[in-house]
Amino acid sequence: MAGESFAGRAKKWLVKTALKAVVAVPPLHRRLNRKLINSYAYAAGLRPRPFSMAAPYTTWRGLTDRRYSGRHIPEAEAHTAALPPLEEVAALFRKTEDRRASDTSLLFPFFAQWFTDSFLRTKWKHPDEQDFAENESNHEIDLCQIYGISEEQTRMLRAGRGGRLKSQMIDGEEFPVPLFEERDGRLELHPDFTGLYSKANFDRVFANAGDAHKKTCFAVGLEHGNSTLGNTVMNTLFLREHNRIAGIVAQAHPDWDDERLFQTARNVCIVLLLKIVIGDYIVHIAPADFPLMVVPGMAERERWYRTNWIAVEFALLYRWHDLIPATVSFAGETRDSSALRHGNGWLLEVGVERVCHDACRQLAGKITLGNTPDFLMKVKESSLEMARGCALAPYNAYRKHYGKEPATSFEDLTRDPVLAKKLKEVYGDIDALEWFVGIFAEAYDDAEMMGDLLKTMVANDAFTQALTNPLLAEAVYNAETFSAEGLEIIETTSRLADIIVRNTAIADAGSVGFKYRAA
């Protein structure tokens, strides 16, 4: 960093050198890995949490019925009732300049949206009935993006041979099969996929979809799977990986039927995703240059090893629309970033390989206030409505809940006099600041990609809900579950780049990833 002192550079060098020495000794690497993970996993109260969206007080239903989202802190109606007008607060998010991240590539928000859409599924209701209390999530990291939420949906997406998922070839590249077909001059849902999504979700997503969008929609696990170019890239990569693994296992075990081949490939792919989340995605979020590992069985010895339950705060803190820059470029063509929405046509023109390559050579947007593109402002406004509808406690209450000192002023929070003045004009007092605004107002250094509380909340939920996956249990994690061939694939995969290299013509894993690569 420009202007950094000699002492600061020396300290970073010493830390980096010490970490390299630790990583070189496997027992020490595992010990520090556990220590770092636990520092975030124990940062807040453990599940089961006494509160959920089922009631404003502890109830049996609230402790057992996972149709209701959980919550970290009890509701704060008095705080919510005194909040400033929503339109004034929403204006704080609107992009005023194209602020970019320091080293995060556009591939990161592509993955982040696709990954989190699979378990952050607040149930849609008519606006007059919306209370944000229920969700439609399995509460698991289960790759429902390509497998569907239920086993019946999974059946619709399976090819029924060789353990594969249904796919098609377009210009020599493998993609999922079409979701719609032409009948009587109209594009209609393919009969194979009747019931793939609930009627309410299908109507909400496709009621106003034009033919140009429908013609390029693929049959994937979630109704929003075709909503952005990035979602489709990730769905396609992991579909290809599933089918590739199914082929390897089928060749090694010619006596296995379609069912066993499919279930084995599915098990392998889910663990690959878990490894990428911990060892690549979270490592990029955290500023420490340390290779975090998924250690099977580690979580079983911890008090945070509990049934997964998505909280409303987790669903809201991931509204990282600021990561989308003002413009994006693929194959030499620059468009407004709104072109990413319903962008399958552009993806088919350019190809998955070129999109992955080019996404790593442009910076994502910076997570901060004043950086949300206009076409995403409606989503940001609905997020504010949800936070208020859930009567979330103020920002400083969450800092205390996570063992952090409360912010003492808007200047202390933002380190930006101009932004601090705006926040003071809207809220008056730092203790009146609502949480959803505070986590995006936090200042952070160039070596980081988000503020301290936001980072802590992301890591706390990620570790305690990824490492509890049943496929990582000591009794489950073995060759019987994954096959010897699948286990080898798992052990040799740690980055999203590994999936990209295996399923595109990109040969160098070092040329793609969440970190920005100069063109």
User: What is the rounded distance in angstroms from the CA atom of residue 254 to the CA atom of residue 84?
Assistant: 65
List the domain boundaries for the chain: 42-177+218-283+296-511
The H or E element containing residue 181 is: strand 180-183
β-partners of residue 182 are 187
- Model pLDDT, residue 21: 82
pLDDT of residue 447: 86
Contact between residue 436 and residue 392 where contact means Cβ atoms under 8 Å apart:
yes
Check residue 13 and give its pLDDT.
Answer: 62
Asked whether the beta carbons of 453 and 442 are under 8 A apart, the reply is yes
Enumerate the β-bridge partners of residue 70: 52, 311
SS3 category, 275: helix
Give the pLDDT confidence score for residue 2 in this predicted structure: 39
Nearest to 91 by CA among 317, 384, 313, 443: 384
Nearest alpha carbon to residue 177 among 162, 197, 191 = 191
pLDDT in the model for residue 26: 86
Query: For the domain 42-177+218-283+296-511, what is the CATH code?
Result: 1.10.640.10
pLDDT of residue 3: 44
Count CA atoms within 13 Å of residue 479 on its CB side.
Answer: 6
Positions in the chain short of pLDDT 70? 1-16, 287-288
Contact 437, 92 (CB under 8 A): yes
Tokens of 145: 């993006």
CA-wise closest residue to 504 among 364, 362, 359: 359
CA distances to 69, 228, 322, 360, 399 from 329, in Å: 38, 15, 17, 11, 38
Distance CA 277, CA 261 (A): 25
The candidate with the shortest Cα–Cα distance to 316, out of 57, 72, 41, is 72
Look at residue 185 in the predicted model and tell me its pLDDT: 86
The pLDDT score that the predictor gives to residue 146 is: 98
Task: Give one word for 407, left, alpha or beta, with left for phi > 0 and alpha for psi -120 to 50.
Answer: beta
* pLDDT computed for residue 22 by the predictor: 81
Rounded to an integer, what distance in angstroms lies between the CA atom of residue 142 and that of residue 140? 5
For residues 227 and 216, the answer to whether their CB atoms sit within 8 Å is no
DSSP for 468-493, written as a single string: T-GGGSTTT-SHHHHHHHHHHHHHT-
Question: Which one, of 292, 303, 282, 280, lies nearest residue 31 by Cα?
Answer: 292
Q: DSSP H helical segments within 374-468, as ranges?
A: 377-389, 395-401, 410-414, 417-427, 435-441, 452-466
Instruction: Note the maximum CA span of the chain.
Output: 73
Give the pLDDT confidence score for residue 11 in this predicted structure. 61
Q: What is the pTM of this model?
A: 0.94
DSSP string, 306-373: -----BHHHHHHT--GGGS-SEEEETTEEEEGGGGBT-HHHHHHH-HHHHHHHHTTSEEEPSSTT-B-
